[in-house]
Amino acid sequence: MGCGSSTNANNTENVQDPGTPASSIKSVPVAAERSVPAKSVPEESAPVETKDPNAEKVAQIMALKAEWPDNIAVQCFDKAYYDSLSDDLKPRFLKCLDSGCENPDSGMGCYANSPDDYETFKGFFKPALERYHKVDLSSKVHINNWDFAGVEGLPEDGNLDLSKLGLPELSMRVRTGRNLSKYPLPASMTKQDRVDMEVAMGKVFDTLIENPDFGGEYVSISPGHAKFVDEARYQELVDAHIMFKDMAADPYLNSAGISGGWPYGRGCYISADKQFIIWLGEEDHLRIMCMQKGTMLNAVFDRLKSAIDVVEGLIEGGTARHPEFGVVTSCPTNIGTGMRASVHIPLPNLTADGTDAKAKAIAKPLGLSVRGLGGEHTPIGSDGTVDISPSARFCISEAEIVTALYLGLGQLKAAEDGGSAEAAPAAAPAGADNDMKVAQIMALKAEWPDNIAVQCFDKDYYDSLFDDLKPRFLKCLDSGRENPDSGMGCYANSPDDYETFKGFFKPALERYHKVDLSSKVHINNWDFAGVEGLPEDGNLDLSKLGLPELSMRVRTGRNLSKYPLPASMTQQDRVDMEVAMGKVFDTLIENPDFGGEYVSISPGHAKFVDEARYQELVDAHIMFKDMAADPYLNSAGISGGWPYGRGCYISADKQFIIWLGEEDHLRIMCMQKGTMLNAVFDRLKSAIDVVEGLIEGGTARHPEFGVVTSCPTNIGTGMRASVHIPLPNLTADGTDAKAKAIAKPLGLSVRGLGGEHTPIGSDGTVDISPSARFCISEAEIVTALYLGLGQLKAAEDGGSAEAAPAEAAGGGGDANDEKVAQIMALKAEWPDNIAVQCFDKAYYDSLFDDLKPRFLKCLDSGRENPDSGMGCYANSPDDYETFKGFFKPALERYHKVDLSSKVHINNWDFAGVEGLPEDGNLDLSKLGLPELSMRVRTGRNLSKYPLPASMTQQDRVDMEVAMGKVFDTLIENPDFGGEYVSISPGHAKFVDEARYQELVDAHIMFKDMAADPYLNSAGISGGWPYGRGCYISADKQFIIWLGEEDHLRIMCMQKGTMLNAVFDRLKSAIDVVEGLIEGGTARHPEFGVVTSCPTNIGTGMRASVHIPLPNLTADGTDAKAKAIAKPLGLSVRGLGGEHTPIGSDGTVDISPSARFCISEAEIVTALYLGLGQLKAAEDEC
């Protein structure tokens, strides 16, 4: 647990095996310093390093820096960064640079050895990637995308047909690399790893061979393999450019370790038509390629994509990806897509001098590489044929790479034919047009301060863009440039514009939505669990506010991933999308929950309606107006091709409508008259689930910004929830001015009945909706509407909005002020209370009023118990994101990590874990240890419920009922069996006090939480003992606590020597349990597994053993053991937990301190390695 003081008596950290002598078990913060030894020390000694054994290699690198300016690895080596690494990481890091050190003429000079090297050594790889790929990774992440939708320069018909460029059939090839997640990268593979991987991939190749789309054969050059081919056949395949050459002859790969164990684990899959090949065991685990002679680049690209989908679908454990860098490859030059798309093209004129110098001079500015027919540094063909490919691999999509090849070939062909590359019919507008637009925008900056697009235009940023991106970027600003009175002034043209032009859109979004995106990402969430201000029964019933039935409406927008956004759609795109959506609408019409009809205003459409019917629907507010009359949409291109591809789906009850082809592809809305806001909200959610489930390719999302919409004002949720409410008193002067004055501080917008800038109703009826769309959840929006209406109603009735009994006002300003004053006073007195120390008054003041009390509640435990170590608990799974400005520095302080350069990644796979024995077995007997009591535990919280600190008694009871189905499934499973016992009064599995105490004494059940002041202050012990219980397996070695500090505390324990056994059982059990939980368990994209207490976040894991250390504890204390353990990143405790006695025979509890920014597999390996050194110290003592 760790959030309370060292006197906390709740047993949340240690679970003893049944039969271990009982003692009180306590929990306090544990140090999170991580120092995992690189390898286990032999039993007879535990030498202590007094000098950096890597000093010679470091000195070599520093000497090379001055001599080899083009060696990126050497140039990006930072001695201060190296010194900051833990000792066990230093040699692993330096191994990445072996090739560049031993071959200083290298260009890149480094290789990753493990899939997680790019994250573990991000402080090195990030600047190296930026330097090589010429990208700014502070504002960009790589996104893999094979979809051509929205790709700049793509021909209108989508066909990359070389014959249209006047080219003959050419040899076309597209290849990419993949690495299996469950193995080290080639540079660190043992011979056995390579052999094992070839065996594992054999099943994949067999499946391909049986597939009539592929067929063919697999050939191996691994001695003893069933498909082994002799030297003659191998050479024949090499000569035919089907198989790769002997890697052992390559000094760069030798130095890196990639050619190790040659030729074991090497082979090649060859399709029946010899046009699809997979190399196994070259620079990456897999090099996958398609080739054919022809003119249609799409054909070879599409076949590769289909083949990759098949292959990746068959690989157990999947292939390695990095969340920011994309496909993981051994060499950083290939990371991202791992793709190279190329053609062999004759350029006799440009190579008339016998060299490719002129071709290179023309190709380089086009982003193309020119090579000889055998690769880099090989001769061109005798007829002037060269190999042409785009240079970019990273921060560019797969579809963009092959399109770039097509566009570049057009320009090279023009130059070859005697023109110039500039003269070729490329897709980008002339530079002069760009310059004119830029000049206009710069002139508008001074005159139109409220035009966000104009104000956020940065000339330096524009100049930094590639030339082909500049016109595409400027098109986003067309509306604001041509209509300078715009508020936002920009529209995205492609779903990926928000990422491609993040340097513009991010500050524009921050300015409009008033959010800080350096510390926040948008998270979509329709679940009301944990929403502040939600009535206890969860019902947003307007009648409880004294309101009559009102017209209620909730709408949202969606855009189909496979099409450009409306601003860039051609008329054909619009027509095609209407055809595609026809299947969705037909399905809705056949569904009795929806029914209805689809009407189209697209000439020639089967469901076309005439002008009279269209106008009737417009007048009834069912259909949207003629977009061609809107100057803003016209300038953006959104109204283009009107009325083609436009229509409207209308449900049978006319209360569910989908507009097709308006500002977004889809505008989805539900409306009804009533008082229960949940009804209209829930129907919209159900309808969206149905609709999105039917759309081929899905709808567009951004990983940080949420639902993608054309206009940045709607991004995030795309949602507007509103009601029409009569406010005759507030509008007595005939205007909505007073209503707006009251509504604005509540985060509400007031409009006329026809929308912005339209009149209010004759009876004072206005349209009310929350202003926020972004960095707020869907559930929070509709709750904010409910709470705001309560305050507006109070003001209308003659009171004031402040006086209304609504939670959203941040209720109780005086109470908040008092808490803040207490916290500020504690800062000086309690330097070890992390929550108090990380409280920043300026940050608190920056929060919306409704968030302030929710934030302060997180600190209640540390405020009321100032001797706390951590002093805070999350109340909702999204608190770590909502209050990231607080939790991030608190996590950094406690866990001693820098979260500006690191994210937590959960990983139970031992592949690549430093110090793991070669056979993968963490066998304590090899360390000379007897059978020990071993246990591994972790925590989980269900996504659909608040965290324990904010759960009502009913929440707890409901969760126990929901988990009952999970426990019943475990009980029926012969691998688990056992029973569930509850201490919740009235539960079917209720046990009396005597049985409960028996389970507590046996360390199977947790103690009475109501006795814990820290948990009481946090609210975690609330409602005791309701909703509390324990699942116990038949062998009593697998236990799940329900309703303790986290929803679930899941643990495995057994006596033995094989740590893998207890670890693997826990992993298998968690997979089963999580697979049964409706809605899943809570995760944070950067912080990992969400736990109530920040001390446990990340893995939530504690792995420990009880080990006798009679020599180190000969003085009757654990002081010597702690002194040795601490530098190893281990914690030493008594048998009952922190601050409890050690065993009479010197037995202590040992566990790694780290939970966060370390993987599950690394934690249990660190325990094993540390035990080896402790044992050596014990034997020497």
d(CA 129, CA 321) in angstroms, rounded, equals 15
Residues 6+ away with beta carbon under 8 Å from 621:
none
Residue 1137 DSSP class: B
Residues 1171 and 1107: beta-carbon distance below 8 Å = yes
Does 481 participate in catalysis according to the annotation? Answer: no
Does 175 participate in catalysis according to the annotation? Answer: no
Residue 649's nearest CA partner among 622, 688, 613, 679 is 622
Does 190 participate in catalysis according to the annotation? Answer: no
Amino acid at 437: K
For 347-491, list the strands marked E by DSSP.
Answer: 368-371, 385-390
Cα–Cα separations (whole angstroms), residue 913 to 76, 89, 92, 1160: 25, 11, 10, 10
Does 969 participate in catalysis according to the annotation? Answer: no
Does 1178 participate in catalysis according to the annotation? Answer: no
Question: Is residue 429 reached through a cis peptide bond, with omega within 30 degrees of 0 on the bond before it?
Answer: no
Catalytic residue among 156, 756, 829, 972: 756
Catalytic residue among 574, 751, 1028, 1155: 751
Q: What is the CB neighbour count within 10 angstroms for residue 467? A: 13
The strand pairing partners of 322, in sequence order, are 326
d(CA 553, CA 756) in angstroms, rounded, equals 16
Q: With left for phi above 0 and alpha for psi between -120 and 50, is residue 645 left, alpha or beta?
A: left
Maximum Cα–Cα distance for the chain, whole Å?
97
Catalytic residue among 119, 282, 400, 663: 663
Catalytic residue among 96, 290, 670, 711: 711
DSSP element (H, E) containing 915: none
* Residue linked to tokens 């949207």: 624
Does 720 participate in catalysis according to the annotation? Answer: yes
> 3-state DSSP call for residue 467?
coil
Instruction: Quote the tokens at residue 82.
Output: 């190296």
Q: Is the dihedral of CA 776, 540, 787, 810 positive or negative?
A: negative
Torsion angle (degrees, nearest 10) of CA 639, 640, 645, 650: 0
d(CA 586, CA 583) in angstroms, rounded, equals 5
DSSP element (H, E) containing 340: strand 340-346
d(CA 197, CA 180) in angstroms, rounded, equals 9
Cα–Cα separations (whole angstroms), residue 409 to 169, 334, 344, 385: 13, 22, 11, 13
Catalytic residue among 175, 553, 667, 683: 667
Instruction: Quote the tokens at residue 439.
Output: 């000049």
Residues 6+ away with beta carbon under 8 Å from 1117:
1142
Cα–Cα separations (whole angstroms), residue 834 to 869, 870, 883: 6, 5, 15
Residue 372 DSSP class: B
What does R_g of the chain's alpha carbons equal in angstroms? 32
Torsion angle (degrees, nearest 10) of CA 939, 943, 948, 950: 160
Residue 27's nearest CA partner among 1150, 1141, 1138, 832 is 1138
Catalytic residue among 555, 558, 646, 940: 555
Instruction: Quote the tokens at residue 654.
Output: 């006319």
Residue 416 burial (CB < 10 Å; 0-12/13-18/19+)?
buried
d(CA 673, CA 467) in angstroms, rounded, equals 53
The strand pairing partners of 659, in sequence order, are 648, 667
Residue 798 burial (CB < 10 Å; 0-12/13-18/19+)?
exposed
Does 555 participate in catalysis according to the annotation? Answer: yes
Instruction: Quote the tokens at residue 614.
Output: 């269209």
Residue 163 DSSP class: G
Catalytic residue among 720, 854, 935, 940: 720
Does 756 participate in catalysis according to the annotation? Answer: yes
Phi, psi (deg, nearest 5) at residue 1168? -60, -50
HEC assignment per residue over 563-588? CCCHHHCCHHHHHHHHHHHHHHHHHH
d(CA 151, CA 891) in angstroms, rounded, equals 40
Q: Which residues are catalytic?
A: 555, 663, 667, 711, 713, 720, 751, 756
